[in-house]
Amino acid sequence: LRRPSLRLAPRQQTAVPLAFDPRVIAEHHAVVRVETDYRGERLTWRYPVRGMVNAPVQLRAVRLACKAKTSQQREVRLRLKNLAELAPGGEDFEFEVAADDPEASAFAKRALALKPVKLHLDGITDELRFDATFRPLRAFAGSVNLVVRRETGGRWPFEVQLEATEPEPDDTIALEASLHHTAKARFALVNSLSTNFEPFSAYFTTDSSRALAVQPTQGLLAPVGAEGTAFEVAFAPTKYSMLERGRLVVKTAETTWSYEVRGTNPPFVVPEATTKIDTHISA
């Protein structure tokens, strides 16, 4: 407190500033006491103060990366810096995965599994251990925080970077069309991960040939047990080419399907020319 004493007029209010400068990560307690004399009696107000310490995010992040629809497993070891002395016999710690970004939080709930191997520390140099499994179903890049909590106070956030690159194609679609003609292929898709109709978007990636198109580009994807949602892929070449390529993506909030689409022209057949020799000599 910078002002241990002050005078207030009737009904006047004032702020009581407090400073908290912890040296170790532990819970701290104090009591702010306000006293005054009123008509010869001592009046006292007591305000308990509880100080919680949050460690800064560690500079070295935990990174998990793989292609969508594959998985990565690794052991994660965490040392708690500036940890205050532990109770005799050690202490147990708790953890949670948190994120400020709602999309990152929802993605981590589906794709990241953390199995605690050791949550009990016997000394301040001991380490917590987790088995991490990263199993993404769609492409994503972002981060969440693995927050370690001490029952007696203190929080240690560790950044966990998650990166899922585009998956390998689920299938290949081949189309053949003559110049200024259109070839089409149709297929049905079912969302095996859901029992409800889920919104989807369908599109070709930006590096795909402009001669390729898909319909519909958005709608509701049928769940397990329902008739699949129908898609139509079209190839309409406007120039001769050996091969036109594209990557078709069908995406929901949970997962992604991708297809390699190849468009070709029919083989060019050289027309056969007939030669006629006139041996007749005019008179």
What pLDDT digit, counting tens, does each position of 74-118 carry?
999 999 988 888 889 999 999 999 998 999 999 999 999 999 999
SS (H, E, C) 248-279: EEEECCCCEEEEEEEEECCCCCCCCCCCCCCC
**Does residue 2 surpass a pLDDT of 70?**
no
Query: What percentage of the chain exceeds 70 in pLDDT?
Result: 93
**241 vs 227: CA distance, rounded Å:** 37
| pLDDT tens-digit readout, 128-164 | 999 999 999 999 999 999 999 988 778 899 999 999 9
Q: pTM surpassing 0.75?
A: no
Cα→Cα distances 230→5, 178, 189, 213, 218, Å: 78, 25, 7, 14, 11
Neighbouring C-alpha atoms within 13 Å toward the C-beta of 156: 23
Mean pLDDT, rounded, for 17-37: 81
Query: pLDDT at residue 123 above 70?
Result: yes
For the ranges 58-72, 109-123, 256-270, the maximum mean pLDDT occurs at: 109-123
The pLDDT, as a whole number, for residue 189 is 94
Structure confidence at residue 278 (pLDDT): 65
Q: Is the pLDDT of residue 121 over 60?
A: yes
The answer to whether 78 and 155 are in contact (CB under 8 A) is no
**Nearest C-alpha neighbor of 133 from the set 36, 218, 66:** 66
Q: What strand order describes the sheet that includes 127-134?
A: 72-79, 127-134, 112-118
pLDDT at 198: 93
